[in-house]
Structure 1
Amino acid sequence: MTENTSNKQYDILIKNGLFFNGTKQPESNANIAINDGRIVNISAEPLDESLATRTIDAQDRWVMPGFIEIHSHYDAEIIAAPALKESVRHGVTTVAIGSCSISMVNAEAEDCSDLFTRVEAVPREKVLPILIEKKTWHDAQGYRKFYEHHPLGPNLFSFIGHSDIRVAVMGIERATSEVKPTEEEMQQMETMLEQALDAGCVGLSMMTTKLDKLDGDRAWSKPLPSTFASWWEFKRLFKILRKRNAILQGAPDAVKKVNIFGFFWQAHGLFRLPMKVTMLTALDLKSNPFLHRITRVSGFIVNNILRGNYRWQTLPAPFTIYLEGLNVNAFEEFDSGALLRDIK
């Protein structure tokens, strides 16, 4: 006998859960009704289960909004294992990829591998064969179609990496040198950025700190290609981001740090459209606790006085790193570690 669903008001009813709503309010026991993918009722009192197509008893469990992983380097893993089960089982429902100038969109498989594996301390001999087998695309539309035909676990959004498009246009040797791109090459990069935004990428990621190094035989131990770009090159791409209301994600120079003021200036909205900018700061705030005051003040000035749209990406809590062996990119943060890792 077919169940009559005409009187159903909810697709899902979650009952008896300890509810955290994500707004810093205290947790509370709640019953939550969902219809058509949206929460339609949150009640401390029991809701009528007969009105729900499916009921989930969350007794002794936590119920909360899904976590958004705003900074990850799952670019290779999600190609090999799109379900990302280890993130989903920890409550992550949305993942960002393509951060820090590294994406796997336009460049060849070997280039993508060499941009990625040493930075993320994963074996090149494992990543490269996967990319050679699976990377059949060379543009953003093809990249999107790949994911549309694979069973993703979490929701996904991506940046297009500046190192990715720079290598795709200039080749890995020229892209990791002081050579300025020709006007034709610059226009190709602009076209790739436009195509990526058309395909659904949320913006461009770039890098100016030279601590992260390349793998492979062709440009071993050179910094990421994005770090070789001039402000002339950056501003050509930033103009597109501002026009398209897209996001710039990146990292300031971790050694000199002064170029952060350039990104503040790019974000401002005085007499022009602001540009959405988010910059990474991680170990910096741990090693120099005074910096958190600077980040708070700078954010206030850029956003409230200069009418910009600027956000810091930082870690939510202090952390400790336990390392075994040198094959970890954290060693690139120190001169002696970088020197040892340069030995091949």
Structure 2
Amino acid sequence: MTEYDVVIRGGMVFDGSGAAPVAADVGVRDGKVAAIAPGLPDGVRTIDAAGRWVMPGILDVHTHYDAEALVAPGLGESVRHGVTSVVLGNCSLSTVYAGAEDCADMFARVEALPWDIVHGAIKESKTWQDPAGYAAALESRPLGANVAAFIGHSDIRATVMGLGRSVDAEARPTDTELAAMRRMLTDALDAGFVGLSTIRSSFSKLEGTRFPARQLPSTYATWREYRRLNRILRKRGRVHQSTPNLAMPAEVALYLAQSVGSLFRRPLKTTLIAAADVKADRRASWAATFAATLANRFGGEFRWQHLPVPFEVYADGVDLVVFEEFGSGAAALNVRDEMERGKLLADESYRRRFRKDVAKRFGPRVWHRDLYDAEIMACPDASVVGKSFGAVADERGIEPADALLDLAVEHGSKLRWRTTIANDRDDVLDRLQQSPVVQVGFADSGAHLRNMAFYNFGIRLLERVHQRGFMPVETAVHRLTGELADWYGLDAGYLRQGHRADITVIDPAGFDGTSSAYAEAPFPAGGSPQRMVNRNDRAVTATLVNGHIVYAEGEFAEGFGTTLHAGTFLRATDR
């Protein structure tokens, strides 16, 4: 009888702790790591890892897979890039309590997901009534990766108050309603949820026909409401995840203060998006890390989430989330019909507002609004492809803002363009990835189908480390695995005897510079949209989840996402 189900032969084994790797074989039996030693006999399946890195599976702590996990539970775009555990329910959005219409209204615009797909996923799948039932429903599905979850504040607030009252700036929850929210949060933590997610961002708008363009419910809450919920998180040692309002940068101080403990209270684990070297404000990353360092020095437990790659975004016409940050941009996004939007963009009074907004160079903002730094990737008018809007404007003798609007009016969503809004300087990116107040996250996997593609963020970090050498490989592995698992209180992130066999095999020879290349793939949750992705399959030899080889040599396992039950629901524990 063969002693091992799988043997990974002859690799350099990283255990996820930050310790130096060892040359060894890894034997897997019954979903666990049974042995790490040289000279193991062959298993039922043997993977040749000579010259390769064998490491714990990568954790992706900031995803919006909530709808996709219900109807396409393989989560293959992450699995193929070495991710074995994901955390969903971020940014106040979860699908635990609210009904299908409320969920679709809350997810569709802010996360750039088709309304009907979100609505259909919840309507067709929902059998649960509470967080424990939700966890059981996920576990019953053929998950390709392990799943952990936040409970979303907008989810519970809309359920308790009704969506209409929850997005009314004049409405406040009653004491009875606040007590109900606290019970719902407690039930979620009892079911193993990692914590609560909230949001303050003015970017976060509702879709749908009932309350279009209002912000998400969580943004209407007072800090008194947050404090009432935070007391539960603090007592249990769980996490508060949030997105601040970039129009009110001083508000970040309230998050920092809530994280700080004292003789009379525990620190509150708090993580925000995002630490980034923003082109529009080159001081932002320094200020963010300095403030977090100071808060932690005084007893805080604060982390900025950070995308460890250049933050490149794409837009079809004017469909891009950063347009929410200025009045004329939000006004265009409020018009969902493409013909009506075209009429608005052609209106001269609107154009005056748009030119003024784009020209503004002061105040909090994410997008640099430099239309000479915006490359047209596709357009029915082939003469503009490869040029910036600024270059097109110079050729036509008009303003860059008018060049963008002219092309958007003429071609609508067939106009595709890109720009990099942050993380374009290698030295600053290197510094951020080594900061103790920064954690690797904010991939936004599962969201923004046509805007962002960061499913392979972990591979791209390892590639940068391998090529630039700004930190030891074992440190980078730790930052992607054990460090995150420990902070979120999850049983993951380590490759050790007796632990669950969530393993990624990396071939550094596959770091060939293609990891940032643009590609598209069908959206697995159905419908017509193509999803923007990156693909660098040569870098990942194999991904194992709970001992199952779910992806190897460019192919998914038989039954992946349909009959193969590899992943499970990861439950956090009190700390």
Find the residue that maps to 2:7 and give its secondary structure: strand
User: How do 1:160-171 residues align onto structure 2 when only pairs under 5 Å count?
Assistant: 160-171=151-162
Q: Which stretch has the larger CA shift, 207-216 or 13-22?
A: 13-22
- Give the AA of the match of 2:295: V
Q: Deviations over 1:263-304 (max 9, x none)?
A: 111111121211111111166735323222122222221222
- Give the AA of the match of 2:290: V
- Give the AA of the match of 1:129: G
1:300 maps to 293
2:234 maps to 242
1:288 maps to 281
- Give the AA of the match of 1:291: A
Say whether 1:210 aligns with 2:205.
no
| TM-score, scaled relative to structure 2 | 0.54
- Note the C-alpha offset of 1:21: 6.0
Native 8 Å contact 1:17 1:63 kept in 2 = yes
Say whether 1:261 aligns with 2:256.
no
The counterpart of 1:320, out of the listed 312, 335, 340, is 312
Are the structure 2 counterparts of residues 287 and 38 from structure 1 closer, same or farther at C-alpha, using a change threshold of 3 Å? farther
2:124 maps to 133
Alpha-carbon distance between aligned partners in 2 of 1:312 and 1:199, rounded to the nearest angstrom: 26
Q: Deviations over 1:45-75 (max 9, x none)?
A: x51326x564322346553321111101111
2:485 maps to none
Q: Which stretch has the larger CA shift, 159-168 or 268-277?
A: 268-277
1:152 maps to 143
The counterpart of 2:220, out of the listed 203, 228, 253, is 228
Find the residue that maps to 2:10 and give its secondary structure: strand
| TM-score, scaled relative to structure 1 | 0.89
The counterpart of 1:38, out of the listed 33, 42, 45, is 33
User: How do 1:260-279 residues align onto structure 2 when only pairs under 5 Å count?
Assistant: 260-271=252-263, 272-279=265-272
Say whether 1:199 aligns with 2:179.
no
Q: Deviations over 1:84-133 (max 9, x none)?
A: 11211111100010000000011111101110011111221222122211
Native 8 Å contact 2:9 2:24 kept in 1 = yes
- Give the AA of the match of 1:337: G
- Structure 1 residue runs of 4 or more that deviate by more than 6 Å after TM superposition: 23-29
The counterpart of 2:115, out of the listed 113, 124, 127, is 124
Are the structure 2 counterparts of residues 97 and 286 from structure 1 closer, same or farther at C-alpha, using a change threshold of 3 Å? farther
- Note the C-alpha offset of 1:182: 0.6
The counterpart of 1:67, out of the listed 23, 45, 58, is 58
Alpha-carbon distance between aligned partners in 2 of 1:228 and 1:199, rounded to the nearest angstrom: 27
- Note the C-alpha offset of 1:318: 2.0
2:417 maps to none
Say whether 1:101 aligns with 2:96.
no
- Note the C-alpha offset of 1:214: 0.3
Alpha-carbon distance between aligned partners in 2 of 1:274 and 1:76, rounded to the nearest angstrom: 32
Q: Which stretch has the larger CA shift, 317-326 or 246-255?
A: 317-326
Native 8 Å contact 2:277 2:285 kept in 1 = no
Alpha-carbon distance between aligned partners in 2 of 1:331 and 1:27, rounded to the nearest angstrom: 45
Are the structure 2 counterparts of residues 158 and 120 from structure 1 closer, same or farther at C-alpha, using a change threshold of 3 Å? same
Alpha-carbon distance between aligned partners in 2 of 1:26 and 1:325, rounded to the nearest angstrom: 48
Alpha-carbon distance between aligned partners in 2 of 1:181 and 1:124, rounded to the nearest angstrom: 28
Are the structure 2 counterparts of residues 30 and 291 from structure 1 closer, same or farther at C-alpha, using a change threshold of 3 Å? farther
- Note the C-alpha offset of 1:312: 0.6
Alpha-carbon distance between aligned partners in 2 of 1:263 and 1:187, rounded to the nearest angstrom: 22
Native 8 Å contact 2:267 2:300 kept in 1 = yes
2:547 maps to none
Find the residue that maps to 2:317 and give its secondary structure: coil
Are the structure 2 counterparts of residues 193 and 284 from structure 1 closer, same or farther at C-alpha, using a change threshold of 3 Å? farther
Q: Between the two proteins, what is the percent identity of the paired residues? A: 43
Alpha-carbon distance between aligned partners in 2 of 1:98 and 1:187, rounded to the nearest angstrom: 21
Q: Which stretch has the larger CA shift, 328-337 or 166-175?
A: 328-337
**Contiguous gaps of at least 5 residues in structure 2:** 337-575
Say whether 1:185 aligns with 2:180.
no
1:251 maps to 243
Quote the RMSD (CA, aligned, Å).
2.3
- Note the C-alpha offset of 1:199: 1.0
1:176 maps to 167
Native 8 Å contact 2:314 2:320 kept in 1 = no
Native 8 Å contact 2:75 2:143 kept in 1 = yes
Native 8 Å contact 1:108 1:138 kept in 2 = no
Find the residue that maps to 1:150 and give its secondary structure: coil
Native 8 Å contact 1:107 1:138 kept in 2 = no
- Give the AA of the match of 2:94: S
1:112 maps to 103
Q: Which stretch has the larger CA shift, 228-237 or 33-42?
A: 33-42
- Note the C-alpha offset of 1:253: 1.2
Alpha-carbon distance between aligned partners in 1 of 2:246 and 2:156, rounded to the nearest angstrom: 23
- Note the C-alpha offset of 1:17: 3.6
Q: Which has the higher contact order (CA 8 A, sep 6+)?
A: 2
Find the residue that maps to 2:312 and give its secondary structure: coil
Are the structure 2 counterparts of residues 260 and 12 from structure 1 closer, same or farther at C-alpha, using a change threshold of 3 Å? same
- Note the C-alpha offset of 1:22: 5.7
Alpha-carbon distance between aligned partners in 2 of 1:35 and 1:129, rounded to the nearest angstrom: 39
Q: Which stretch has the larger CA shift, 208-217 or 117-126?
A: 117-126
1:142 maps to 133
Are the structure 2 counterparts of residues 75 and 286 from structure 1 closer, same or farther at C-alpha, using a change threshold of 3 Å? farther
